[in-house]
Amino acid sequence: MTRNMIMGWVLLMALFLGWTQYKGAQVRKAKAEHAQQLAADSLAKLAANPTGSATTATIAGGGEASLSAGTANTATASAAATTAVTSVPAAEHRIITVQASGFTAVLDARGARIAELRIPSIGGKTPYNPVLIRPESEGALTLSLNGIALDNVVWSTSTTETFLRADQKDAAPVTVTFSTTLPGGIPVSRTYTFEPGKSLIHHSFTAPDGAIRSYGLDWKGGLEETDRITQGQGIGLTATYFSEIVFDNGTNVQRENFRGQKSFNAESGVLRWAGMRRKYVAVIMDFGSPVQDRLDAVGIVDPAAAKNAPHPFSLRIAGNSDEKAALNFDFRVMPLHYTTIRALDRNFEQILFTGWEPFFRADIWYAKLCGLVLNLLNWFYKWIPNYGIAIILLTLLVRLITLPLSVNQTRQAAKMAVHQPEIRKLQEKYKGERQKLQAETMEYYRKQGINPLAPVLGCFPLLLQMPVFIALFNVLGRAVELHETPFFGWIRDLSRPDVVWAGLKIPYLFPIGITVLPFFMAATMAVQMKLTIKDPNQKAMVWLMPIIMFVFSGSFPSGLVMYWTVSNLFTIAQTKVFGSVPMPATAGSGSPKVTISPAPSKMKKDGKKGK
């Protein structure tokens, strides 16, 4: 890595940062203009519909569409709702457990809500915590109708059973219907349908036409993490733990992690689905067709929790029309198994992998790249059932694809290093004559067959590998398939650091214990750097880069560190075979004699010519 190569890297990074800032500003400006136009259209509609204006004002002030009213307002609204239905005979409070395909749900007649949700298996493995919605929480899917919160109202039930099974093959669907009467004698009902073989609940709502002016669907109980959250202070240590609001706004899939209250859906005005996700599981309200409703959410922060610890959310879907489209949906309980969720053709795979739009439209291609990496690993795994070996084979495949370009650039850079004495002579000869020096240097390069852009282009093979490296990092941290998958010996989980001594923890270096693979990675990188760096002015890089990578890799998944280590070994072998360029033997010769080993594609052909 020469000085020119480093300058090339700096130039590339500067261009990239400038371009992304420019594109990001364009995207933000377009979204702001679109949101302003939507707001103007909404105001025009409200001005043309006084009744609708009054209804919307009620919602904005703390009714169906607001989460910021607080616990006091909710309690008041709930108490008012309970009082309002006193004329209706009191229903019996029932709690019904339904064992479905892939999960167990507990339905509570108080609020006609999902009080508890459990998942016994994720990707064929027992989760560390099987509870997705805790029974002591406020649960999910409580309703507010016409400004009346119904979360404390006990609804009548269609069954007296307390335990139902919908997980038996060829069994009929299981339905549970809750019903109540709103003030004014308006009957409403909600039906939960469980179909054998499907990991979802179909929710439907019925009410007389024209009776519902506004509604809000609340999910206050959040979603619990199923995996064991790693404790410690490390670089990127908790980067693979997610607690996010996810939704499809009809244009793209959004993943949001924030604190406090936020409203979404202003850009497109539609929702295809919305829900919450954790590391290996997501629970989604899938509306089927786009709905014209608003999504509000609150990030709930526990002051006692660690600063970077994932925090839970509550969300609300709110509308102010009688269409009630958002109250008819599939409540999907989805382990984030890439092949399974992609087959649903609802863009659910982008819950797992989402690219940043300003970065060369990564929102389009990055999810596909991660899927390709995961599919390749799964394909290798089918032949050799060990994901550690699959990662090694993936590394070799990537390096073999970039080998011709890498060898060519290595050879060109080596040529330039050999000819540096002659270039220095030209610099001394034409000192102060910048244009003349540039012309003579380029002529010298032409005669010697040297590409002057080689130092910059030498970064290109590494640049091509970086998206794969980043994609593998995301795959190891998010894919259910690689969770708790061993390699051999002490490497018992490729998705976590390969800790051999948990009793000694060093913050930011070995935050969860002493690991082994970072030592191998740093050692191989030091050998690689020593072989490739010939410029005396760059000798510091021989030890600086291995130290930097060593510090980072102590918190990384062992599978990722193994990928980098194997890549280092490949570079060492490549340099030994193709990168040998001897220094000139004769000091007084007019130009150095350069011996370059042939490119891989020409070795056989040149060998025949030499006979």
pTM score, whole prediction: 0.76
Q: State how far the Cα of 484 lies from the Cα of 505, in Å rounded to an integer.
A: 22
Could you tell me the two tokens for 67?
Answer: 């989460």
Could you tell me the two tokens for 415?
Answer: 């040529």
Could you tell me the two tokens for 316?
Answer: 């609300």
What is the residue type of 173?
Answer: P
CB-based contact 463:406 (threshold 8 Å) = no
**291 & 394 share domain:** no
In a domain, 36, yes or no: no
pLDDT band at 33 (very low <50, low <70, confident <90, very high): low
Q: Which range is most confident: 119-133, 261-275, 461-475?
A: 119-133
Other CB atoms within 10 A of residue 30 CB: 11
**277 & 134 share domain:** yes
Better-scored residue on pLDDT, 364 or 504: 504
In a domain, 410, yes or no: yes
> What are the angstrom distances between the C-alpha of 244 and each of 309, 353, 411, 472?
12, 13, 47, 21
Tell me the backbone φ, ψ of residue 337, rounded to 5 degrees: -90, 115
Over pLDDT 70: what percentage of the chain? 73
pLDDT at 357 over 90: no
**332 & 392 share domain:** no
**250 & 324 share domain:** yes
**85 & 197 share domain:** yes
Terminal-to-terminal C-alpha distance of the chain = 36
pLDDT at 134 over 80: yes
In a domain, 357, yes or no: no
In a domain, 522, yes or no: yes
Tell me the backbone φ, ψ of residue 193, rounded to 5 degrees: -120, 125
In a domain, 347, yes or no: yes
In a domain, 276, yes or no: yes
What is the residue type of 387?
Answer: Y
**124 & 186 share domain:** yes
CB-based contact 522:547 (threshold 8 Å) = yes
Domain count, the chain: 2
CB-based contact 430:440 (threshold 8 Å) = yes
**346 & 415 share domain:** no
In a domain, 183, yes or no: yes
pLDDT at 247 over 80: yes
**154 & 289 share domain:** yes
pLDDT at 172 over 50: yes
What is the residue type of 475?
Answer: V
State the Cα torsion 142-146-149-151 to the nearest 10°. Answer: -30
**382 & 276 share domain:** no
CB-based contact 512:505 (threshold 8 Å) = yes
In a domain, 280, yes or no: yes
**277 & 330 share domain:** yes
Q: Look up the domain containing 392 and give its range.
A: 376-420+449-578
For residue 240, the domain's CATH number is 2.70.98.90
Average pLDDT over residues 99-128: 94
Average pLDDT over residues 213-217: 92
**143 & 101 share domain:** yes
**161 & 95 share domain:** yes
Q: State how far the Cα of 67 lies from the Cα of 491, in Å rounded to an integer.
A: 46
